[in-house]
Amino acid sequence: PATDPPASSNAIDTPATATWRVALPVPLPRLFDYLPPPGDADADPVGCRVRVPFGRSGEKIGVVVATDQPDSDAELKTVAARLDAEPLLHGELLASLRWLARYTHAPLGEVLATALPGPLRHGEPLPDTHAWAWRLSEAGATALPGLRAGKPKQLAERLAAGAVDEDALDATLGGWRAAARSLAKRGLAERVAIKKEKMGSESFLPERKNDSDPIFSLNPEQQAAVDAVLAARDGFAPFLLDGVTGSGKTEVYLHAIADCLARGKQALVLVPEIGLTPQTLARFRARLGVQVHALHSGLSDGERARVWAAAVRGEARVVVGTRSAVFLPLPEPGLIVIDEEHDGSFKQLDGIRYHARDFALVRGKALGVPVLLGSATPSLESLQNAHTGRYAHLRLRQRAGNAKPPQVRVIDVRKRPLEAGLSPEMLAAIERALASGGQVLVFKNRRGYAPVLLCHDCGWSAHCPRCGTPEHPTPMTVHGGGRRLQCHHCGARQRVPDACPDCGSLALQPQGAGTERIEDALKVRFPDTRVLRIDRGSTQRRDAMEKLLAEFGSEPGILVGTQMLAKGHDLAGLTLVAVVGIDEGLFSADFRAPEKLAQLLIQVAGRAGRADRPGEVLLQTHHPEHPLLATLLSGGYQAFADTELPQREAARFPPFAHMAMLRAEARRVDAVEAFLRAARDTLADTRTDALELHGPLPAPMPRRAGYQRMQLLLSAPDRRSLHAALDAALPTIHALPEARKVRWSLDVDPVDL
Ligand code: ADP
Ligand code: ZN
Ligand code: ZN
C-alpha cells in the first residue's frame, strides 16, 4: 500500500540513480542528461563514450562528462550503450579540453569530438596496439628436420630459436607471410601477440647508432639550454629556445627527451605539417633508440587511432606529431616540445579554432611538465612572453659545428630587364653556383605559371566569377604552361579563352611569373642542368616531395619552389638561395604580414650553407630601401622584432591586445551585415570596459565561392574583458533571428585578419 513507511531509513538516504551528463558533437552550447543503461549504475562513467538516442530517431556518440541528480520533472531518455569500460577522456585531458571549450566558446561535445581520432569519435573500440610475432608450435619443432626445402622450412628455421616479430620478418624474409600461412594450416606455427614492454631506463639513453649521425658534445649554449630544462623538469616551466637556423635546437630537444625517457616518462613533440619528414623521424629513432610514434595527416584513420591507443596505454614513449597530436593522452608525461613554434600550421582555421602551441602550454601547466618552444624566428607573442619573464629565454646565437651563417645580398631590380621574373644578376649568380658544383634554390611564393592573364589591347584581365567583388576582383592564376586558369581561393578552373572576352583581341598575355614559369625559363636557360619544381601543384601526396628530393640528391641542380621548401628536408648541397618576388608581402594590410614575411625570409635564407660550404642568399626586390628589408639585413630577426614589438604596442595589436573575430557569410550581403550589426549591438550592450568593436567590415576576401563575407573584430587590452563580453553576449547571438540566415563562426586569437 502507498501509505506504508519505507522499509528502512537507509532507503531514504540512497539517492535515485544518478543521471549521466553527456557532451555530444552538436553545435549547441549545452550538455544532455540521460538515464544510465539498465544494470550499469556503479562503475564511474565519467570519461567513457556512450551511444545515446538523439533527435527523432537518430543516435549519437558522446562522452559522459559528469553525473548528476535527475531533475524530478525531467523526462529523460536512456543511454543506449556504454562503449568503454575504462574512461577514455579523463583527468587532466578532460579538464584541459573543458578549458579549451570555454576559451574557444565552443560546445564541449564538439571539442571532445575534435580531440578524438575518427574511429574513436564514431564509437569504435580502442584499437589493438599489440605487435605480432610468429613462433613454432611443439609439432612444428618436431617436424622441422623433416620439412621439405623451401620458404616454409626457411621460416621454420628462423623461428626455431624463438618467436620473431612481424616487423623483423618483413625486413629479412621476403614472402614469409605465405609461408607462415602454410605452416599455420598444418599446425606447425602460430601467431602470438606481444605486449610492448616498457624498456628499462638505460636503454633510453641516446646511443651511437651509425657514423652518419655522430654524437658530438654540445656547445656551451646548447649545454646551458639542456641544463635549464633538466633543472626544471619536475614541474611546469615554459621555455623559449631562440636559436638561429642550424644552431642545433633539435639536439637540445633530443637531449631533453632522452632524459625524459630515462626517467620513465613520455615526451610529445609537435612539429609543423611540413616538418614531419621521414628524415626527422629517422633522426629521432636513431638517436633515442626507441620506437617513435608519428601522428600526421598522411596516416589513415585507423593508424591515427592506434597511435592514440598507444599513447593512452603508455606504450608510446615518444610521439612526434602535427597540430592534432596536442590532444594525445599522456598518462606518464615528462616533456612537451613545440618545434618552429611560430609556424602558422599550429592554428586550426576551421571547426574548433585552437592553437596547438597555446593549448600545449595549457596542458603542460596542467600536467606539471616543462614546455619547450623552439624557433629561429619566434612569434612576437612568444618573444614578448620571454621579455616579460613569463618564459625562460634560452638562446643559441651560433650555428652548430662548422656551418657558417649565409651572406645575404639585395639585388635592386628597378628598371632591370627580367626573364620570367629573374634579373640578369640573379641568372649570373645561379650560373656561378652551378659551375662550382653547388645546388640552387629559387624561392617564389606563388605557384602556377603566372598570377594574372591580361589583355594587352584593352586592359581586361581574367577574374574568378565566384570570388571577389567589382571593387576587389580576384584574379585567376594561369596554369598548365599558359593554357588553364585556376582560382586559388575556390578551386574554379577554366580554359584560357582564345580571344579577349571584352574586345576580341588575341593579345592575351600572362603577367608576372609563378613557379611553373620560372621552371620553364630555367630549363631553357640551363638545358644541361636538372631543374625540379616543388610546390603544391607538383607534390600532391605528402611523401612525393621527399621522394623527389631524395632523387635530386646533392648533385648540382636547381630547385624551384614555394614555402614548402622553406623548411623540412635538409639540403646539404645547397649553396645559393635566390629569393624572388617577395614584394607583395611588403605592402599587405594584415598587421601580421611583416612578421610572416620576416620569418619566411629568415627561414628560406637559413636553408643555405647548412653543411661545411658557406651559403649565399640573394634577394631580388623593387624596394631595396624598404625598412623591413633594411632592418632584417642589418640586424637579423632580432632587430626586426625589436622594432616591430613597439609598433604593435603603439597600435594596440597583439601581443598587447587580445582579439576575437566574428565571421559571417551568406549569398546575400545584407543578411551578413544585418547579423554582424545585431551581434555588435549585443556585444556593445554588455558594456564591457575597454572592449573595442571594429566593423562589420568586408573580409579580406569579400566574396568566395559565391558567398559574401564580412567580419566583426573584437579587441580588448586583457583577456578577461574579451571573454567576459563573449560569455555575456554569445547566448543572445546564438538566438538572434538574423543568425539563421548566415553561416557564422567565432575565432579567438585569429591569425588572419
Ligand atoms: P636546428 O634544429 O637549430 O636547425 P639542428 O639541431 O638540426 O639545428 O642542427 C643543425 C646541424 O648541426 C645538424 O646537422 C646537427 O647534427 C649539427 N649539430 C648540432 N649540434 C652540434 C654540435 N654541438 N656540434 C656539431 N654539430 C652539431
Ligand atoms: Zn581586350
Ligand atoms: Zn574563386
Q: Pick 104 or 166 by higher pLDDT.
A: 104
Question: Which pLDDT belongs to residue 44?
Answer: 87
Ligand 1 close to Cβ of residue 246 (< 6 A)? yes
Q: What percent of the chain has pLDDT over 70?
A: 91
Averaged confidence pLDDT in the chain: 87
Q: What percent of the chain has pLDDT over 90?
A: 58
Mean pLDDT is lowest, of 168-172, 449-453, 536-540, 640-644, for: 536-540
Distance CA 706, CA 478 (A): 21
Q: What angle do CA 200, 204, 210 make, to 5 degrees?
A: 135
Ligand 1 close to Cβ of residue 401 (< 6 A)? yes
**Arithmetic mean of pLDDT, 346-351:** 94
Do residues 370 and 580 make contact, with C-beta atoms less than 8 angstroms apart? no
Q: What is the pLDDT of residues 173-212, one digit of tens each?
A: 777 888 998 999 988 998 887 755 443 333 333 344 444 4
* Highest-pLDDT range among 173-177, 335-339, 602-606: 335-339
Cell of 590: 594584415
Q: Pick 261 or 588 by higher pLDDT.
A: 261
Ligand 1 close to Cβ of residue 279 (< 6 A)? no
Mean pLDDT is lowest, of 76-85, 214-223, 518-527, for: 214-223
| Ligand 1 atom showing the smallest separation from residue 253 Cα | 6
pLDDT of 286 over the 80 cut: yes
- The residue length of the chain stands at 753
**Confidence grade of residue 6 (pLDDT, cut at 50, 70, 90):** very low
317: Cβ–Cβ under 8 A, 6 or more apart, which residues?
198, 204, 261, 266, 267, 290, 291
Q: Which of 210, 250, 340 for mutating ligand 1's site (highest number of atoms within 8 Å of CB)? A: 250
**Confidence grade of residue 163 (pLDDT, cut at 50, 70, 90):** confident
**Arithmetic mean of pLDDT, 135-160:** 90
Ligand 1 close to Cβ of residue 395 (< 6 A)? no
| Ligand 1 atom showing the smallest separation from residue 254 Cα | 6
pLDDT of 644 over the 90 cut: yes
Helical packing angle, 593-605 and 627-650, nearest 10°: 140
Question: Which pLDDT belongs to residue 173?
Answer: 78
83: Cβ–Cβ under 8 A, 6 or more apart, which residues?
48, 49, 50, 51, 61, 123, 125
pLDDT of 646 over the 90 cut: yes
Binding residues for Zn(2+): 455, 458, 464, 467, 487, 490, 500, 503
**Arithmetic mean of pLDDT, 691-695:** 93
pLDDT of 455 over the 90 cut: yes
Global ipTM:
0.97
Entry pTM: 0.86
**Arithmetic mean of pLDDT, 569-582:** 82
Centre a 10 Å sphere on the Cβ of residue 415 and count the other Cβ atoms it contains: 6
| E strand intervals along 351-444 | 370-375, 392-396, 407-412, 439-443
CA of 405 to the centre of ligand 1 (A): 13
- Output the residue whose Cα is nearest ligand 1's atom 19: 248
Question: Which pLDDT belongs to residue 210?
Answer: 44
Q: Whose atoms come closest to the Cα of 612: which ligand?
A: 1
- The whole-angstrom distance between residue 733's C-alpha and the CA centroid of its chain comes to 31
Distance CA 397, CA 600 (A): 19
* Sign of the dihedral defined by the CA atoms of residues 335, 336, 339, 342, in that order: negative
pLDDT of 325 over the 60 cut: yes
pLDDT of 740 over the 80 cut: yes
Q: What is the pLDDT of residues 533-567, one digit of tens each?
A: 887 766 656 667 777 887 888 888 999 988 777 77
Q: What is the pLDDT of residues 458-503, one digit of tens each?
A: 999 999 998 888 888 889 999 988 889 999 888 899 999 999 999 9
Q: What is the pLDDT of residues 666-688, one digit of tens each?
A: 999 999 999 999 999 999 999 88
Helical packing angle, 719-735 and 669-685, nearest 10°: 130
CA of 700 to the centre of ligand 2 (A): 28
Q: What is the pLDDT of residues 97-115, one digit of tens each?
A: 999 999 999 999 999 999 9
Beta partners for residue 621, in sequence order = 412
